Amino acid sequence: MVTLSEENYLKAIYHLGKEGTIAVSTNAIAEKIESKASSVTDMIKKLAEKNLANYVKYQGVSLTNEGRLAAASVIRKHRLWEVFLVDKLNFSWDEVHDIAEQLEHIKSLKLINELDAFLQYPTHDPHGDPIPDKQGNCSPIKSINILEIEEGKEGVLSFVKDSSDVFLKYLNKNNLALGDTIKVLDFEPFDNSLSIETKTKKLIISKEVAQNLYLSL
């Protein structure tokens, strides 16, 4: 049995591992999970014990196939519940994270598969993140960061990296939503800000915001 706490560590390692790194560092996990390095060491030993992680002292951790599947399963549940909350219960996308964080730990295979069917097998959650399938496979998102797009070109906002409350509220305030077509007008090298155009208006976004917007072309 994988405990709630173990699931949270698996998730963290999974997400950090995605960035192409070979092994994830103890400190990175501690920061992500808002705990201390010593707690992380304890837990990764336990995960290794259970064959969910590969761990070599001082060399960081990676997930085993079993661990990766377990992590993907938690993420699958998290994202399906997010779809449920937004599509069926009138939540907006910036309200769902904390609740999904609780719901993702509910244990029942039948539950999640029935929920998947009830929601008509969605492939992405309300933030544009892909939903892993039963086998733990993610349809890789084919979206690129807005800073890498040439001036003059446009794309469809399909994913936002940061899904914190403050950021989602910023997007709402500025009338930016998934699915919007955005044209890149001008890059300002002084502060790395970007001037963009949506259907309704022109807008200048800071480097911090731009780093979190991903478009599909």
Partner DNA sequence: AAATATTTTTAGACAAGACTAAAAATATTA
Partner DNA sequence: TAATATTTTTAGTCTTGTCTAAAAATATTT
User: In the complex, which residues of this chain contact a second copy (CB under 8 A)?
Assistant: 85, 88-91, 95, 98-99, 102-103, 106-108, 110-111, 114-115, 118
CA-based max dimension of the chain: 55
CB crowding 31-42: b at 16 or more within 10 Å, else e: ebbebeeeebee
Q: How far is the CB of 200 from a second copy (least distance, A)?
A: 29
Instruction: Decide whether 40 or 157 has the Cβ nearer to DNA.
Output: 40
Binding site for DNA (CB under 7 A): 3-6, 8, 25-28, 34-46, 55, 57-60
| Number of continuous H segments (helices) and E segments (strands) in the chain | 8, 8
**Is the Cβ of residue 91 or residue 167 nearer to a second copy in the bound state?**
91
* Cβ-based nearer residue to DNA, 38 or 206: 38
Comparing CB distances to DNA, the nearer of 56 and 89 is 56
Distance CA 78, CA 69 (A): 14
* 60 interacts with, out of DNA, a second copy, none, CB within 5 to 8 A per kind: DNA
List, in order, residues 6 or more apart from 144 with CB less than 8 Å away: 155, 214, 215, 216, 217
Least Å from the CB of residue 145 to DNA? 25
